[in-house]
Amino acid sequence: MSALVKLQDVSKRYGDAIAIHPANLSVESGKTTVLIGPSGCGKSTLLRLIIRLIEPDSGSIEFDGKPVTPDNINVLRRRIGYVIQEGGLFPHLTARANVLLMARHIGKSHQETQNRLLELSDLTRFSENLLTRYPVELSGGQRQRVSLMRALMLSPELLLLDEPLGALDPLVRAALQKDLKEIFTRLGQTVLFVTHDLAEAIYFADQIVLMNEGRIVQRGPISDLRERPADPFVSEFINAQRGIALT
Amino acid sequence: MKPLCYPALVGRDRRARRGRPGGPFLPFLFLFAVVFSSSAHPVVVGSKKFTESYVLGEIAKRTLTDAGIPAEHRQGMGGTIILWEALRGGQIDAYPEYTGTIETEILKSDSNVSLDQIRDSLEKLGVGMTAPLGFNNTYALVMRRSEAQRLGIRTISDLQRYPELKFGLTHEFLEREDGWRPLRRRYDLPHQNIVGIDHALGYSALANGSIAVKDAYSTDAKIEQNDLVVLEDDLHFFPKYEAIFLFRSSMRPDAIAALRRLEGTLDETRMIRLNAEAERIKNYAKAADLYFNGRDGAARRPYQNFGDSFPRKLARWTLRHLQLAGFSLLLSIIVGIPLGIVASRGGAVGHVILGFAGVVQTIPSLALLALLVPLPFFGISIRTAITALFLYGLLPIVRNTATGLQDIPRSLRESAVALGLSPIARLWEVYLPMASRSILSGIKTSAVINIGTATLAALIGAGGLGEPIISGLNLNDHVTILEGAIPAAVLALLVQWFFDLLDRVLIPKGLRL
């Protein structure tokens, strides 16, 4: 198995507060890696470090075997899809324009982008009729589907999802979870997924990475975490959510 | 030397007042003339902001034109310093002045000097002077005749006995070296109740009794009209104010010769009559015609500048007003939006930009004009007006651009970055459209402010709807004031309405749902 993304001794601090202690992480190709942990544990920060929304203080990040630097990041970003909790859709653009924005920016042909758009609306089960709507005219679930289409538009090698379903009501959330999993499988997509919900993590993960207070506490399949917890926090975290996770 | 930048604008300024053929094609011909005319520079005569100066300016213009020299008259440009600087700076070629003013205000000499000494001193500064035109228009203090008689006041010294009298003095007189302060010292006047008031408004104040004493010029037509008396200058405080023309020594010789022909042709009675006529018919050019009619009986010819019908004048003022406000707004937009973008990033530079734009806004518009006029590039010109308006228009645009950009949620900024858009594309495709509502409302504010403030441009001879407002104030004629004030208000409303429409076109639909 090869690692698409490799973080080595990456750390980040804000003033005196340490956000990430030196951390090592590999995101395996074609697998879904889930970052989980309580709020403020640094899981989103790790994601944002990878796509360079924030600069690491130390350590190195490799993408596809090459170090990520401020010089090459803008090109690399086109090979990475990024979806956040609120969708991050631009309110002044229609769903279609949001999805096509980047493809147009790099000068893809009209035919090519149209075909890809139809493919994606099919893949994400987003009705073509809604493509002319503005974000405010769409429901939360619909917005996340558009956001996913935008992230997948350029067929990225890596998909970064930062609590993409966190703001949705349970029924919509369940439907999207199912669709997302199907999409990942169909595309053989490499995914780094951030959530604080253990059930969601178990549902998606090939590998779970549990974080607490800026440190990676344990990684592995859920069975490892359950049966061989690396420290008391792991058991505590799993037990706290067991009611939901194991039923 | 004439500054060379914006030659097109200077040209427009010049020619907007000339060439006024009649007929329904006038607006087109006018536009045509504005844009394309490029004849030799005419001789520019300036005048100060009071009736007599206007009339003398018209007489000079007429004299020059009759001698076949193209000439124009920039009316009521302001006070002594503004005119003097404009003459030195080459924005005007000649203007009527008084020997006393030259002595105290321009040459700042304290002892009495002879005409020849004045002429020599001016010559060194590159300025020539005609011989006296024939009348002495000295400063004077005036009162209502009835009140002066009741109190038994005949001389300025008599005022000492009535310390409770209220004085309404022009701002220039209050500040002049030969004005109120030395006068008060010489006569040891005890009065404390002194207000600064516009010259023309002062006569109304005097008539309705809100002031008792005011400063005036001894040839002022209002003295007779309002039944006022001139208090005798019993201590001979006021210097002689012989009217003369100042001109640039480098002015074309035939123009100098033409002005010289005016020497010794105007006595006090005649000047008072011309002033009275100008104020009665509200028309300086026609009053100036009287001078020529009385002198050589030449046929009165229709005066183009003032022969204009009201709609034509209105069209001219409005067009100029829109030029002033529009051009300055354009500059404010071109400069303001980039500054706003830089300021939105915060930091020291951002603070400096917002701070500068804020400070400019706190300078009174009149003061800003006065500050710009003496600078080399500016002077008395449309450039100065546009620059002042541009500076005023800056703050709303800079601030609204900055806040509009800062108000974009962080998650959306990051989404734009994470997509891989280049910085320019982020700004152009995402940030600016999202801030468009805020930016446009800043532009709208600037536009309305500019329409209002542009009326002040007339003070420095830049024209516009302020022209009738200023002359109206000067003539104390409310109708004339309204001729400018009402169209200016209507214009402001129209601009507001136009920008409301523009909102619907320029703000993306997704932001209006």
CA nearest to A153 within chain B: B419
B285 near B58, Cβ under 8 Å? yes
Nearest residue to B101 (alpha-carbon basis) of B58, B72, B136:
B136
CA nearest to B409 within chain A: A88
pLDDT tens digits along A158-212: 999 999 998 889 999 999 999 999 999 999 999 999 998 999 999 999 999 999 9
Longest dimension (CA), chain B: 90
Rounded average pLDDT over A63-84: 93
User: DSSP letters of B86-148?
Assistant: HHHHTS-SEEEEEHHHIIIIIS---S---HHHHHHHHHHTTEEEPPP-S-B--EEEEEEHHHH
Contact B508 A135 (CB under 8 A): no
Contact A92 B415 (CB under 8 A): no
What does DSSP assign to residue B510?
G
Contact A101 B509 (CB under 8 A): no
- How near does any CA of chain A get to the CA of B86, in Å? 52
Task: Provide the pLDDT for residue B303.
Answer: 33
Task: Provide the pLDDT for residue B35.
Answer: 37
Cα A121 from chain centre: 19
pLDDT tens digits along A75-126: 999 999 999 988 899 999 999 999 999 999 999 999 999 999 999 999 999 9
Provide the Cα torsion B462, B463, B465, B469; round to 10°. 90
- How near does any CA of chain A get to the CA of B404, in Å? 14
Report the alpha-carbon distance of residue B216 to residue B212 in Å, rounded: 13
Report the alpha-carbon distance of residue A219 to residue A238 in Å, rounded: 13
Query: Which of B405, B410, B415 to mutate to test binding with chain A, by most A CBs within 10 Å of its CB?
Result: B415
Task: Provide the pLDDT for residue B18.
Answer: 32
Contact B420 A75 (CB under 8 A): yes
Judge whether B410 is closer than 8 Å to chain A, CB to CB: no
B229 near B143, Cβ under 8 Å? yes
Task: Provide the pLDDT for residue B474.
Answer: 64
Task: Provide the pLDDT for residue B7.
Answer: 32
The per-type count for chain A, helices as H runs and strands as E runs, is 10, 10
Stronger pLDDT, A29 or B469, i.e. the higher one? A29
Contact A88 B414 (CB under 8 A): yes
Q: What pairs with residue A191 in β-bridges? A: A32, A159
The per-type count for chain B, helices as H runs and strands as E runs, is 25, 10
Residue B148 burial (CB count, 10 A):
19
Task: Provide the pLDDT for residue A242.
Answer: 63
Contact A93 B508 (CB under 8 A): yes
**pLDDT category, A60, cuts 50, 70, 90?**
very high
Contact B434 A90 (CB under 8 A): yes
Kindly list the distances between the CA atom of residue B284 and the CA atoms of B262, B306, B307, B318, B415, in Å, as whole numbers in the listed order: 17, 9, 12, 22, 67
Q: Identity (one letter) of the amino acid at A153? A: M
Q: Which residues of B touch A134 (CB under 8 A)?
A: 509-510, 513
B56 near B47, Cβ under 8 Å? yes
Cα B433 from chain centre: 40
Task: Provide the pLDDT for residue B22.
Answer: 36
Cβ neighbors of B364 (< 8 A, separation 6 or more) are: none
Rounded average pLDDT over A1-5: 82
**Strand order through the sheet with B71-74:** B71-74, B43-46, B94-98, B243-248, B127-129
Cβ neighbors of B280 (< 8 A, separation 6 or more) are: none
What does DSSP assign to residue A62?
E
Judge whether B430 is closer than 8 Å to chain A, CB to CB: yes
Q: Which residues of A touch B419 (CB under 8 A)?
A: 77, 82, 101-102, 150
Task: Provide the pLDDT for residue A192.
Answer: 97
Element of type H or E holding A67: strand A66-67
**B415 → closest Cβ in A74, A84, A94:** A84
Judge whether B481 is closer than 8 Å to chain A, CB to CB: no
Q: Which residues of A touch B415 (CB under 8 A)?
A: 82, 84, 88-90
- How near does any CA of chain B get to the CA of A89, in Å? 7
Element of type H or E holding B55: helix B51-66
Report the alpha-carbon distance of residue B332 to residue B393 in Å, rounded: 6
Structure tokens at B393: 């228009």
Q: For A125, left (φ over 0), alpha (ψ -120 to 50), or beta?
A: left
- How near does any CA of chain A get to the CA of B509, in Å? 7
Q: Which residues of A touch B433 (CB under 8 A)?
A: 92
Nearest residue to B127 (alpha-carbon basis) of B148, B100, B102:
B102
Domains of chain B: 40-130+243-306 (3.40.190.10), 139-230 (3.40.190.120), 310-511 (1.10.3720.10)
For B326-351, b/e burial (b = at least 16 CB within 10 A) is bbbbebbbebbbebbbbbbeeeeebe
What are the residue ranges of helices labelled H in chain A?
43-50, 73-76, 95-105, 110-123, 140-152, 170-187, 198-204, 222-227, 232-240, 242-245
Which value, in Å, is the radius of gyration of the alpha carbons in chain A?
A: 18
Q: Which residues of A touch B434 (CB under 8 A)?
A: 90-92
Judge whether B513 is closer than 8 Å to chain A, CB to CB: yes
Domains of chain A: 3-92+158-245 (3.40.50.300)
Nearest residue to B116 (alpha-carbon basis) of B264, B250, B271, B244:
B244
Q: Which residues of B touch A92 (CB under 8 A)?
A: 430, 433-434, 436, 508-511
Contact A77 B419 (CB under 8 A): yes
Task: Provide the pLDDT for residue A45.
Answer: 94
Task: Provide the pLDDT for residue B298.
Answer: 35
What ipTM does the predicted assembly reach? 0.92
Structure tokens at B36: 């394309």
pLDDT tens digit at each of 513 positions of chain B: 333 333 333 333 333 333 333 333 333 333 333 333 334 578 999 998 888 899 999 999 999 988 889 999 988 888 888 889 889 988 899 999 998 888 888 888 766 678 888 899 899 999 999 999 988 888 889 999 999 999 999 999 999 999 999 998 887 787 777 788 889 999 999 998 888 777 877 888 888 888 899 998 888 878 878 889 889 888 888 878 889 999 999 998 899 999 999 998 888 778 888 888 887 777 888 888 888 875 443 333 333 344 457 888 889 889 999 999 999 999 999 999 999 999 999 889 999 999 998 888 888 887 887 777 767 777 667 888 899 999 989 999 999 999 999 999 999 999 999 999 999 999 999 999 999 999 999 999 999 999 998 988 877 767 789 888 877 776 667 888 898 999 999 999 999 999 999 998 899 988 887
Report the alpha-carbon distance of residue B442 to residue B403 in Å, rounded: 10
Q: Identity (one letter) of the amino acid at A125? A: R
Judge whether B433 is closer than 8 Å to chain A, CB to CB: yes
Contact A92 B421 (CB under 8 A): no
Q: Which residues of B touch A78 (CB under 8 A)?
A: 420
